[in-house]
Chain A
């Protein structure tokens, strides 16, 4: 049995790890979570092909797959499940390409045809949404099946008829913990076998002969998103000035303690079409000052309010409460912006209020830990989609960026995609939608009782099916 301790509050905002665990219970037609370069990979669909000028996609489904309740996975069942998913509120925001699907038609037992209203190149990547049946859509085809779920635990059991072979671990129990410390203490006591989140400061402390700490790169990044619909962020010069005013290397080294990679744009740098030859921002506070001066934000010698410093520009940044790492990042960025006369104040609010204000656009800027890869579909839904519903909450509008995003959304030609991505990178550098800071890195701690496949940079939760119990307890390479 594998017991996972999941702290409800982590060092950073966002999924503490359980989301990755759902990868083991529910499967999509494709998968992108395990993709390093952003390409959609086969899962329940073995392959797919475009037809009718990109207005139809034909998926060849995997044979011999059954749901946890014994229902055979066929094109009919898959079509029904997919339709249900499309009808669920919010899914169109998360998976906007589904809005392009006009008809879902099973052909035979193992072929599924999706007729599209317009070419939709991101669709294969967004078909990684889980296919589920049964009450509450909890019955999937993954290597583990959900047995129970309540406030005290989530219990998963091995699915012996999994088409790729039954996992070695028989049962997974997820236990929530109020704090990271209590989760860690339980791990060190041997009460749990894994904790999903390791703060960077504690990595050295946690790692020992009994606990392996496994870091992995995430397609999430820390950024300060601007509300481009409100001044002063309607000005691209302001957004660009703030981007060149930040010393990302210092941020990564001091605050993230090396566990991150500097970021200057929303596109996943390991994406197959990413153009690494394009020179990103360099830290240039003087140029930032010039840009701000030019944009009509000269430095004031006196403050309008006695409790605020004199500045050329002042704005409030939303920050979710209780995330120490985000707070430390905020402090550092605040100091760096202060050096060029920008007074960034933080509005620390509870997480629910944070989400509501973001949704309603009641913010000037927000410091977030946000998914931005590995596919192009992710930045597209935040920065490129013309739709205002869902996740496109920042109001960024750049005609050229929108055009290029749309081109990418519609094109399946690799050369065209490479060209468009390069141009998009440049556009987003010239007119950045946010203050991009760093791609982040996570680490998970696993008891040495389990042998975890050594796949550098990959989230170990995604390979949980291949974990084996370490009877002789050797150390596992942890990078």
Chain B
């Protein structure tokens, strides 16, 4: 039964559970990867947009500077007009904190400053954007990031430079305004690794300190990739734990825009979806297992019922039937099983009937055998008694004959009664050797009349058992008598005792004709005998008696060699006190 359920479970697992599990794993992995890639792509998009906005902002500022330069050149403006233009531009475009017109020698001609101009032409450390030089950024005293930008003026107008001090406050606002999720932020790093802006409020001190982030994992990575790639992403340990970061390169300035987000937050949706999918798959699995169990139960239950019915039949419970209502093959099988069981009952009734008839016949024959002889003797004796009533000697003979035959009749009837209703045994401690010795002695004359000699081989010492002496004598007498009857003259009957562990063993061995092997199995059954006549109750009664005394009886026999009946009784642990006092 286990096998079929195991197979069925394996079938269910192979057909449904494992594929669903595999599907779930693949789905979760795909979903997680897909969602993570989507998050990274989204963050990359943010970083790229910020980079583009910065690019636009800086390039827009450069365009403004160029526009101012264009306004100042070849227009024949007075100095005061140039002064006004510079001041108006500074007021209009807050990204410029200062605009100053320098001559070829670097001397200030006009400036938007009310005080002394401070902007200077950038040196070689700067970058060139659309013909405009830009210095590195630094923080001014107001903590605002500034850089000097300069555009060369036309030689025909005397040359010189228009220098502006560009204020990237707007860049800060732009970076501050970027929030990816709840706590994700952006930061901007220059080509040299200088941190220009940081969207994390707690990390702004790094900007004020002028921290160098050239060793930042993404900054280092984006420097390593080809310029055309422009973007990079990575996961790394940050101050706030595991971070997911993306970087976009700003080629015109050589800056890098990094967007960082705590990994737990960035992938919160994939993780949540992962959990939801896992739960859905688990629920589907549970449902499938439930359905499988119910369906399997409904499928297997008739088979198990058939199995139970078969087992019940094997155990002799012929009333067992299988309740299967389905119309399928299993239902037909169950119906056939029930029909078979009905047939078995009928057959068993027939067998029993025939057995009863056979038994009745055997009992009848036995009774006829066992009783016909005494009755015939009694009848003959009665007839002779009529003729020889006056003969006192015959009357004595008649009396002995009648008493002997009636005793025979009584024994037969006692045996029958004993089979039907065993006589309760009275247990007393008794010495087997002694009991057997007395019995053998009493039967020795009978044996000698048959040309036999009963030999004894008793173990030394007493063998105490709890037994009914009268019942045991009947058993011994029956066994010895059977042995004598089976043994031809000059044969040998041996009564033997021995001690085996805590048991006393009695053997009655003869050198008689032996019992055929096929009859050994039923020799202790009622009304079974090896003799041609008789009820066959002796060994059955003997077996019942021995078993009532917690003993056992067995027989070994070889046809033509002889038989040995072995009785085994538990020894009493010590000599009974009552006997000890004797």
Contact = CB atoms under 8 A, between A and B. Distances in A.
Interface of A: 9, 11, 179-181, 184-185, 188-189, 199, 201-202, 204-210, 254, 303, 306-309, 319, 321-322, 324, 327, 330-332, 334-335, 338, 346, 348
A346 B114 CA distance: 6
24 contacts: A180-B141, A181-B140, A184-B208, A188-B208, A188-B209, A199-B143, A201-B142, A201-B169, A202-B143, A204-B173, A205-B172, A206-B143, A207-B201, A208-B202, A209-B201, A254-B91, A309-B78, A309-B80, A309-B84, A322-B115, A327-B115, A331-B90, A335-B88, A335-B91
A187 to B, nearest CB: 8
Contacts of A319: 114-115
B204 A208 contact: yes
B53 interface: no
Contacts of B172: 204-205
Given A199-B142, A202-B142, A327-B115, A185 B87 contact: no
A331 B81 contact: no
B143 A324 contact: no
Contact of B113 (A303, A327, A338): A327
B169 A303 contact: no
10 A-B pairs closest in CB distance: A188-B205, A208-B201, A348-B115, A346-B114, A309-B80, A199-B142, A307-B79, A185-B208, A179-B141, A202-B143
Interface string B190-211: 0000000000011011011100
B112 interface: yes
Contacts of A307: 78-80
Given A308-B80, A309-B80, A327-B115, A205 B204 contact: yes
A331 B99 CA distance: 13
A199 B169 CA distance: 13
A181 B141 contact: yes
Given A185-B205, A188-B205, A207-B201, A338 B139 contact: no
A352 to B, nearest CB: 15
Contacts of B142: 11, 180-181, 199, 201-202, 324
Contacts of A332: 91
A364 B85 CA distance: 25
B404 to A, nearest CB: 121
Contacts of B90: 331
Nearest to B176: A204
Contacts of A206: 143, 204
B143 A338 contact: no
Nearest to A190: B205
Contact of A331 (B78, B114, B169, B176): B114
A309 B81 CA distance: 7
A189 B202 CA distance: 11
B204 A331 contact: no
Contacts of B141: 9, 179-181, 324
Interface in B81-112: 81, 84, 87-88, 90-91, 94, 112
A202 to B, nearest CB: 5
A475 to B, nearest CB: 11
Nearest to A310: B80
Interface string B111-149: 011111000000000000000000000011111100000
Nearest to A308: B80
Contacts of A184: 143, 208
Contact of B91 (A9, A199, A208, A331): A331
Nearest to B110: A307
Given A181-B143, A185-B205, A188-B204, A327 B84 contact: no
A208 B208 CA distance: 13
A459 B207 CA distance: 28
Contacts of B114: 319, 327, 330-331, 334, 346, 348
Nearest to A309: B80
Contact of B202 (A185, A209, A309): A209
Nearest to A345: B114
Contacts of B208: 181, 184-185, 188
Contacts of B87: 331, 334-335
Contacts of B88: 335
A328 to B, nearest CB: 9
Given A202-B143, A306-B80, 20 more contacts: A180-B141, A188-B205, A188-B208, A189-B209, A201-B142, A201-B143, A202-B144, A205-B143, A205-B172, A206-B143, A208-B204, A254-B94, A306-B79, A321-B115, A334-B87, A334-B114, A338-B84, A346-B114, A346-B115, A348-B115
A334 B140 CA distance: 24
Contacts of B176: 204-205
A303 B84 CA distance: 14
Contacts of A308: 80
B496 to A, nearest CB: 102
A309 B79 CA distance: 9
Contacts of B143: 180-181, 184, 199, 201-202, 205-206
Interface in B548-562: none
B80 A303 contact: yes
Which has the most chain B C-beta neighbours within 10 Å: A205, A324, A330? A205
Contacts of A199: 142-143
Which has the most chain A C-beta neighbours within 10 Å: B91, B114, B205? B114
A179 B169 CA distance: 19
A306 B91 contact: no
Interface in B143-158: 143-144
A185 B144 contact: no
Contacts of A208: 201-202, 204
A188 B80 CA distance: 43
Contacts of A334: 87, 114
B505 to A, nearest CB: 94
Contacts of B113: 327
A205 B113 CA distance: 25
Contacts of A204: 172-173, 176
A468 B8 CA distance: 74
Nearest to A317: B114
Contacts of A9: 141
A184 B141 CA distance: 9
A334 to B, nearest CB: 7
A322 B209 CA distance: 23
Nearest to B172: A205
A319 B172 CA distance: 30
Contacts of A181: 139-143, 208
A310 to B, nearest CB: 9
Interface in B44-97: 78-81, 84, 87-88, 90-91, 94
Interface string B243-283: 00000000000000000000000000000000000000000
A260 B160 CA distance: 40
Contacts of A322: 115
A307 B87 CA distance: 15
A327 B172 CA distance: 23
A209 B240 CA distance: 14
A346 B115 CA distance: 8
A253 B392 CA distance: 167
B200 to A, nearest CB: 8
Nearest to A349: B115
